[in-house]
Chains A and B, each alone.
Chain A
Amino acid sequence: MKTPRPIPHRTSRGLRGRLRCLMQAVWDHRLYYLMLLPAFAAVLIFSYFPMYGIQIAFKDYKGSLGFAASKWVGMKHFINFFNSYNCWTLIKNTFVLSLYSFLASFPIPIILALLLNEIRGRYKNFVQTVLYAPHFISLVVLVGMISTMLSPSIGSINTMIEMLGGKKIYFMSLPSAFRHIYVWSGVWQEMGWSAVIYIAALSAVDPQLHEAAIIDGASKLQRIWHINLPTILPTVVIMFILSAGSLASVGQEKVLLLQNDLNLDVSEVISTYVYKRGVLHANYSFSTAIGLLNNLVSILFLLGANWISKKATETSLF
């Protein structure tokens, strides 16, 4: 392929001129468009063709009538949700839980990756393999393990507390403990898996920079701060933005497993409420409507995080 022609500067003013420039640029990049083609086709077919299903958020969907013939009800489901008795509690619970989860689980994999990077040899390989394994334990088993461990009668944690002279605590019943259990069990399970991407990013660190820094007398900590971190900064920022985009959604599976009668006022989140109302009674319109709401909020967070990153660093998603 020939070298791409430099884009002409203002050879002719006006719309036709700019159109010519554009078409020239498009033609020059034609092979890049070819690389985008399979992705474009896959997304078009499998994501955009079914997208008409979103309309049921504004309808009373009946399976027998189908999408087109179901009755249009406008904002009924949204109004219904905001009129429900405890909708603001739900919203508060959702955001507190996901913010806490985010603040706890975002930095730890990064620190873990940086620390792992300093270790050499076989031990490092072994550690990496073991650390990401808890990711594969199913939620049901994880919650089962936690319940057993925290149980006053049969749990090991309470046995230890008693040995140290304290009184047994029924952790699972305490509303104040719910959020901590939810977040830290998540960190425990996912930190190794989330660290993988940062470990991979750290492989791009140039050893020559380190050698130069050592000659200049920098300590390990200084080297990590000034060399390793900036190298993986683009990755960190992108992961930050993408995680911000899922702040509004807390999945219902784990919450339902940890929920019990005594912690309902903090453990009932939007997704569990929607599950009980929408899915259990096959009320898809309602669950689609609230899902839509959730996603709109997620997009706002995404754009917000993107804007912050653009200002603070130079990397951003858009």
Chain B
Amino acid sequence: MTAIRDTAADRRFQIFCCIIVTILLLLAVYPLLYVCSASVSDPKLVASGKIILLPKGITLEGYRRVFQDNNILTGYLNTIFYTCFGTLINLLVTVPAGYALARTTLPGKKLFMTFFMLPMYFSGGLIPTFLLVNQLGLYNTRAVMLLIYAFSMYNCIICRTFFGSLPKELEEASIIDGCSPIQTFMKIVLPLSKALLGVMVLYFAVAHWNTYFSALLYLKDQSKFPLQLILRKILVLEESSADMLSSVGEEAAAAKFQLKELIKYSVIVVSSLPVLVLYPFLQKYFAQGVMIGSVKG
């Protein structure tokens, strides 16, 4: 088919969209620039509000303090491990379940939905879960970080919605051709679900990347700590020693205080940068028209 050209009205609309989006972009970009600038600026200027956009009084002290900790590298490696394998396990557990729940003919569908949704609202709490992890022998193992949130009902519902909106004709066609459900799922449905998989990977990967509370509770060896926990510990360490010193009026408290503020910003940059880089790789899955030609007529 020949390409349809936009009308003049369409072009005006497109420009209008661009303007709105650019405004929103500037609003969203400002905190990012602020954080980046603040992380390399003189903490005194940050505290007195003199940093608006560009850094002033450039200092790398915050980053130096963060990277001074030997555990940062192990933190990165651990987090990459947890993110990759954790996301994999998440996908294997959640996506097929979403597909199965999308089957309108599945007996007991409502039962399963209720079964999966109840824990979203009712939870036993930290202590019973901790005792369970202990009993299963998972305390202080890397496995606990991968298994404890293996299933996410929220994401499963998104999968179910998506699979449910696929045209039924596709699956009927493959069943007539003699494919089992699993083959249908893998050979036909999945390739059409690139956008969904992109979103799932993003959600799961970011969740794993940001996790620190499970690690706090269930891990003891520092060699297993993920990045966020190590960064948080650095922050708390600086905070508590600054508070402790300032309460008795140590003059070094002044320097520590301001360093602590600086570190807050450096920590965000250090921990978020890798994830931000992930998105462009996933963007191609969100491209339009992935389903062209799949259903004729």
Contact = CB atoms under 8 A, between A and B. Distances in A.
B163 to A, nearest CB: 11
Given A134-B31, A197-B199, A298-B121, A33 B100 contact: yes
Given A29-B105, A31-B180, A40-B115, 12 more contacts: A3-B176, A35-B182, A38-B96, A38-B150, A51-B123, A52-B128, A63-B127, A115-B21, A127-B21, A130-B28, A203-B290, A207-B289
B195 interface: yes
B157 A238 contact: yes
A235 B161 contact: yes
Nearest to B284: A125
Interface stretch (B10-18, B62-70, B78-86): B10-18
A118 B147 contact: no
Nearest to A210: B4
A31 B105 contact: no
A141 B121 CA distance: 29
Interface string B258-287: 000000110110011001100110010111
A260 B99 CA distance: 48
B77 interface: no
A31 B97 contact: no
B262 to A, nearest CB: 12
A234 interface: yes
Contacts of B119: 43, 47-48, 51
B52 interface: yes
25 contacts: A3-B175, A31-B182, A35-B96, A35-B100, A36-B96, A39-B96, A43-B116, A46-B150, A115-B17, A117-B288, A125-B280, A127-B22, A130-B29, A131-B24, A134-B28, A137-B35, A153-B49, A156-B49, A200-B199, A202-B286, A203-B289, A204-B195, A207-B292, A292-B122, A295-B121
A56 interface: yes
Contacts of B27: 188
B60 interface: no
Interface of B: 1, 4, 7, 9-10, 13-14, 17-18, 20-22, 24-25, 27-29, 31-32, 34-35, 48-50, 52, 92-94, 96-97, 99-101, 103, 105-108, 110, 112-113, 115-116, 119-125, 127-129, 131-132, 136, 147-151, 153-154, 156-158, 161-162, 164-165, 175-176, 178-182, 185, 194-196, 198-199, 202, 210, 264-265, 267-268, 271-272, 275-276, 279-280, 283, 285-292
Interface stretch (A99-107, A168-176, A214-222): A214-222
B249 to A, nearest CB: 24
A262 interface: no
Nearest to B228: A138
B278 to A, nearest CB: 10
Interface of A: 1, 3-4, 22, 25-26, 29, 31-36, 38-40, 42-43, 45-54, 56, 63, 67, 112, 115-119, 123, 125, 127-134, 136-138, 140-142, 144-145, 148, 151, 153-156, 188-189, 191-192, 196-197, 199-208, 211, 214-215, 219-221, 234-235, 238, 242, 245, 284, 288, 292, 295-296, 298-299, 315, 317-318
A125 B165 contact: no
Contacts of A3: 175-176, 178
Nearest to B276: A133
B24 A112 contact: yes
A31 B181 contact: yes
Contact of B195 (A155, A189, A201, A296): A201
B279 A129 contact: yes
A136 B10 contact: no
B168 to A, nearest CB: 14
A29 B107 contact: yes
Nearest to A4: B175
Task: Output the residue of A29, A52, A203, A238 with the most chain B CB within 10 A.
Answer: A203
Nearest to B232: A138
A131 B13 contact: no
B286 A53 contact: no
B101 to A, nearest CB: 7
Nearest to A21: B107
A93 B250 CA distance: 41
Contacts of A123: 18
A52 B286 contact: no
Given A39-B93, A39-B116, A155-B49, A214 B99 contact: no
B214 to A, nearest CB: 11
Nearest to A129: B279
Contact of B106 (A32, A141, A204): A32
A238 B124 contact: no
A221 B14 CA distance: 10
Nearest to A22: B107
Contact of A133 (B7, B108, B272): B272
A131 B280 CA distance: 12
A140 B158 CA distance: 30
Nearest to B154: A242
A200 B122 contact: no
A220 B24 CA distance: 21
